[in-house]
Amino acid sequence: DNVVLARETISAVARAHQMKALFLPKIHQSKAGNGLHVHLSIRDKKNRLKNNAFPHPSLQGEISLKGQHFIEGILAHLPGLTALTVPSHNSYRRIGVGCWTGSSVVWGIEDK
């Protein structure tokens, strides 16, 4: 909501000054673009005190079976999810090797 509000406000101020604000994710072919990150979480409704379903219940630093299945599902459907997460041609252009974006379907701890 805050991102949409900021975008609309910036656009309105630019229009008031006979300018146009652009929010293109990739403006230079040879340089990294910009974008937003999406953070996902899963909750365990059965455990209200510790409802984060990612941590393994007894192995510190490990991912629970439910968390592993969640990650597997995201990875399996990632190509199709780009229809929602990369909604325009210009957004799609920012994905690639050397662009600080994921260019392949992989997962790892601290994988950036």
pLDDT, tens digit, 9 for 90 and up, residues 54-90? 888 899 989 999 999 999 999 999 888 888 888 777 7
Q: Is the pLDDT of residue 111 over 70?
A: no
pLDDT, tens digit, 9 for 90 and up, residues 37-56? 777 888 888 776 678 888 88
- Using alpha carbons only, give the angle 14, 8, 80 rounded to the nearest 5 degrees: 125
By the 10 Å C-beta count (0-12 exposed, 13-18 middle, 19+ buried), 44 is classed as middle
Q: Which amino acid is at 35?
A: G
Q: Is the pLDDT of residue 112 over 60?
A: no
Q: Is the pLDDT of residue 18 over 80?
A: yes
For residues 30 and 82, the model is more confident at 82
pLDDT at 55: 87
Give the closest residue to 109 by CA, choosing from 74, 68, 66.
68
Is residue 88 left, alpha or beta, with left meaning phi > 0 and alpha meaning psi from -120 to 50? Answer: beta
Per-residue pLDDT, averaged over 97-103, amounts to 73
Helix (H) or strand (E) holding 99: none
Which residue is listed with tokens 């403006």?
A: 27
**Whole-prediction pTM value?**
0.64
pLDDT at 91: 79
